[in-house]
A = this chain, B = another copy of it.
């Protein structure tokens, strides 16, 4: 797990931070936030907030009080304890693309299948940079709609030994996820102490929390499992065409959602989400890797730190239809700001294409390569006199080269990060090897990785119990 040891890139003046503060306070108190849940209304009313129809009007100070209950940092458990992660502080945790209905596999773009889902699990398990396969890495369209969450949780738990994400389609699905996590991780007490993973609760922005999402939020928070409370903001559509206005809205939505988590169960871990980009104002299409989304990320990091709450942002986002130059530059222009902002949780770290409609195998490999390079970049840096390697200069002196210097021979194995997708072959050698572009090389690596994949061992009794649970619930759900 990465500890991001470089400084945080903070671009907002105290005056701009004060402006944002005025902004969200006015939104929550004058416009309020809609919650489509009687249960939520009741909790907010009991806490002294004004509820009219479905709108909750907040005292900003109440929201800040609730925020103080949120743990600044917490641990999550994987079924292999070596893969446990800590959320918050300098830690950064990476999980895959989430929610894509389609898959791209070489030249073919088609509906995602359970087989694809399984293959993404295998890829996530194979690369140390990925802390989790995530949740709906691709929609398994060939599985029954009512029970496919069982398949996804089962496969994530058996094909990987990393932490997983919970299903949020219904409260019942959330309960199934928790039940299966209890089987794998040693019971309710165990996961209440160390959650099995996070789940993604999106706001129906602007300023509306839907019943379905809230149902899942209630289930997870009661079990003390963290949710990522995420305003879903494409500026121009779900928020005004202004970064400041969007950030004020984002804080209003996030703080109101977080407040609810703490009313349900005080001290429940929670992650402030951010999904912030903009639409093309001419066509209405979502755009990614934009200057505005990068600026938004820098700001969100600064805001989250000011309120001492772990936050999620970024990923390898792009609007490209292919794993080509645009996919790469937009992804890095989202992912580098993610690192600079110091996001604690990064969804969509690998595989995202076409604005999130497509999970792409080749892009998954490209993203892992990018991720590894950034992880190598954001390591602690401190220069000592040893690092000056004066003896090397003294040995080589003027106009020579360091290839055979003693200092080089001692350090060449691990002095630099060595990429495995990127090619620095000269043109002749690259041509001899078939003139294969980056996507083509990524394809070979993805297929080879699947080939070499080995399922991480699982206790037979636990696996049997899991299989039994899935079978029983499948009958109940699919009839």
Q: Is the CB of A325 within 8 A of B366?
A: yes
Q: Is the CB of B418 within 8 A of A377?
A: no
Q: Is the CB of A383 within 8 A of B16?
A: yes
Q: Is the CB of B324 within 8 A of A401?
A: no
Q: How far does the Cβ of A96 sit from chain B's closest Cβ, in whole Å?
A: 18
Q: Is the CB of B439 within 8 A of A397?
A: no
* Bound-state Cα–Cα, A244 to B394, Å: 15
Q: Is the CB of B422 within 8 A of A385?
A: no
* Bound-state Cα–Cα, A402 to B354, Å: 23
Number of copies of this chain that the complex holds: 2
Q: Is the CB of A392 within 8 A of B336?
A: no
Contact of A381 among B11, B374, B377, B430 (CB under 8 A): B11
Contact with B along A225-258 (1 / 0, CB 8 A): 0000000000111111111110111000000000
A313 at the interface (CB under 8 A from B): no
Q: Is the CB of A280 within 8 A of B412?
A: no
Q: How far does the Cβ of A322 sit from chain B's closest Cβ, in whole Å?
A: 5
CB neighbours (8 Å) of A332 from chain B are: 328-329, 332-333, 336
Contact with B along A48-78 (1 / 0, CB 8 A): 0000001100000000000000000000000
A464 at the interface (CB under 8 A from B): no
* Bound-state Cα–Cα, A460 to B294, Å: 47
13 residue pairs of the A-B complex, CB under 8 angstroms, read A6-B11, A13-B382, A19-B388, A235-B416, A236-B412, A240-B407, A241-B412, A244-B389, A281-B412, A281-B418, A319-B423, A324-B324, A326-B421
By a beta-carbon cutoff of 8 Å, the part of chain A in contact with chain B is 6-7, 9-13, 15-16, 19-20, 22-23, 26-27, 30-34, 54-55, 109, 204, 206-208, 235-245, 247-249, 278, 280-287, 289-292, 294-295, 319-333, 336, 340, 354-355, 357, 366, 369-370, 373-374, 376-377, 379, 381-385, 387-390, 392-394, 396-403, 405, 407-408, 411-413, 415-419, 421-427, 430, 435, 437-439, 442
Q: Other than A320-B422, A336-B336, give 12 A-B pairs with Cβ distance below 8 A.
A: A32-B398, A33-B398, A240-B405, A241-B411, A245-B388, A245-B390, A281-B418, A319-B423, A325-B366, A326-B328, A329-B329, A332-B332
